[in-house]
Structure 1
Amino acid sequence: MDVEGLIPAWQLSEGELSAALVTSEAGLAREYARNLELVAEADKRGLAGSNGFRDTAALLERGMRVSRREARARVAAATADLPVLRAALAAGDISFEHVREIEQVLSKAPGSVTPEQLSASEQTLVELAKQAPPANVRKAGRRLLVHWDLEDRPPADVDRDLARPRREFRYTFTREGRMRFSGEFDPETAALAEALLVPLAKPDAAVQGVPDQRTTAERHGDAVAAVFDLAARAPDLPVKAAERAVVTVTVGLEELERRAGTVFLNGYGAVTVEQLRKMCCDARVVPAVLGSQGEVLDLGRAVRTATPAQRRALALRDKGCTAPGCTRGPKWCVPHHAVHWADGGPTNLAGLGFTCERDHHLLHHGGWTMRLHHGAIEWIPPTWYDPKRRPIRNTAHDPPP
């Protein structure tokens, strides 16, 4: 049953339901903060010993019926000296998953990290956690640990490892001729491998309503096979140029501006004009004038894409996708017009911002907008996310302090 005084979920509008989800998550975070406060006090008083348990984690495991792993994580988070982290959790700004990721990173800081550096790193990770999922916070934490490791090691050791990076690849063949392999890469090669695998391992589009049936491991296997296949045809490798697809527009400019109507695209079928606006956002657009019988009367020249120089400038300024919390770098991004070019938006640095394909649709279909403010791109959320629509700047690309 619903708590007295609350409207049943089925009676909420879509906007109310979205806002209720956000509010409910913030409430869970505040309850977690209270729970950690109680755990810290129990640990301080030695409550476990007086109740016959060997430690506080054992008390939580048996008394609260949580897993040993969860109990240890709560004790670690509750007893760590992380005031900024606890304050953000108590305010409902981050989740306990964020707390776990940040605590694990900061607990591994080497002794050479000063209290001031540790505090600054805590602040940086918490700010990222306020706008990004735990996985992205984990990635930022890994970068921070690598940074600390390089700073903490003697220069001679660092130079030696960089000169001869550790890379291992072991494989055997089965009777059926299948290959089994294992190994490890140095950080630089690992980053390159991930950059290749992530886009190639995406699930395929649904076919007649049936989604991609491959498991994650199978998609990764297909991605590795695709990389090998491309490497075997090295002269034919496509260069990651700045340009996306060429789109021939056979829809009236008035319809494009009004965002109304339906168009047909080869390979896509019927799409709305609003979908076309998104697909054309960074494509070379060729206007086509058709006669009454559908014959091509005139084919114009491509117009209004960002130049390679502008893309390089955006890579320097934005450092990657500008969506709050997104960690994708420039190579996975396209320039987006803050004011769509069909509505008269200029193709200049002040009117452009980098977005990855995954987050691009939010600007066209999710109610988000972007703007350039004091030299940085900010995203303005829809009202269901934040009733005050306060601008958010992505901090995922900021270097460690």
Structure 2
Amino acid sequence: MSAPDLLTAMRSALGLVEGAPTSAWPQTSDADLRELIAATARLQSAVQRHAALGAGEVARRSRPELGLTGFAQRAGHRTVEEFLKAETGVTGRDAATNVRVGLLDGVLGDALRSGRVAVPAADAIRAGLGFPGDLPADVLDQAAARLCDEATSLDPDRLQRRARELRDELDEAGIGDREKARRGARSLRLVKQPDGMTRIAWLLDPESAAIVTSVYDRATSPRRGGPRFVDPAARERATRLADDDRSTEQLASDAFTELLRQAGSIDQQVLLGGEEPAVRVLVSGDALTTGHGHGVLEGGETVALPTVRRLACAGGVVPIILDGAGRVLDLGRKNRLFSRAQRRALSVRDGGCMWPGCDRPPSWTEAHHIRRWADGGRTDLADGISLCRHHHLRLHDEGWSITRRAGRYWLNPPPGSGRTGAMLETKSRAVREFLAAG
């Protein structure tokens, strides 16, 4: 399509969309509403793609070596981003994204221009894979092509995490450098505001974030839909939090302020539910023995072996033994409730809520008996599975069931519902790697 044809198509589409009656939305049926939402998303994606390609072309015509003769400079703007903000009304962040994506070349650039991937997906893949470094460019292109295929089933956030995982798989030797770069980017700034308040801007590397997230979850999870508690003291604390007239954000602020005030003498029963925050890192015995491999923080972030050894030195090591099916340990039928050790083992094995598509972390899950204890079910790890409260309640209320066959767990739909079941996959990247290696 020539430039005049493209401009004609843009004007035509703009006229049709701007002239469409907005009053029709409340009158649509559910089926039509769903189709209209999908059509709007496709239209928005097409517009975003052309906006990025246009931004990229503006950037090419405004190259630094062109000086004051560059496109943006001749229009009276110092940078391409300033030009885009003034001309299109986008935010500085969106302008920067459009320039980044519009300048992509190779596999990602081709996928963007053809409409194979949308702007957010292309930017997520770019950010997750990073720059070639010691990795051959053709290997990075192959990874990008693979991720473009996966982009149809992953939202941009998950796609970026998947891209980072793939980069770590292809470039294990560079894990330490990337980890060092993330740690070097950490920062905390206090911003005094005119109204007398102070804002904290805190950017955390994965290891630091694991500690802070653990504190935050324990301080607020009962309010935010975390697990139900059976211990009377824990249940009483959860009830207090639920009835507290402070917002969840205010609770978190007060908890962190008190932690800083009390420092090492903090009464954890008051704020954190009785357990110290900790970083748990999973690593295979072979990696520690041979010195080849990497570890994975429980939240899914990759860390280099030197980091694993440092954490082990500082905090000790609790051995967790996995068999070929990913099972952790078996404590028999003695107790009705899963012990703290068992719940920790479940969190390691399952990596969070096992319900398909759920991304709730281990700290938000409950241990579910796949066979009721009253019916002879055992309080063993093999008969337990991690579910967040929402999906735990849904399983019981709607009549779903979970069974174990050949060491794998299957979600079975309610009888006669016509719904489809699924095999449940662990959300723990470390366990997935262990199973794949075995």
Higher relative contact order (CA 8 A, sep 6+): 1
Normalised by the size of structure 1, how large is the TM-score? 0.50
Greater helix percent: which structure? 2
Normalised by the size of structure 2, how large is the TM-score? 0.47
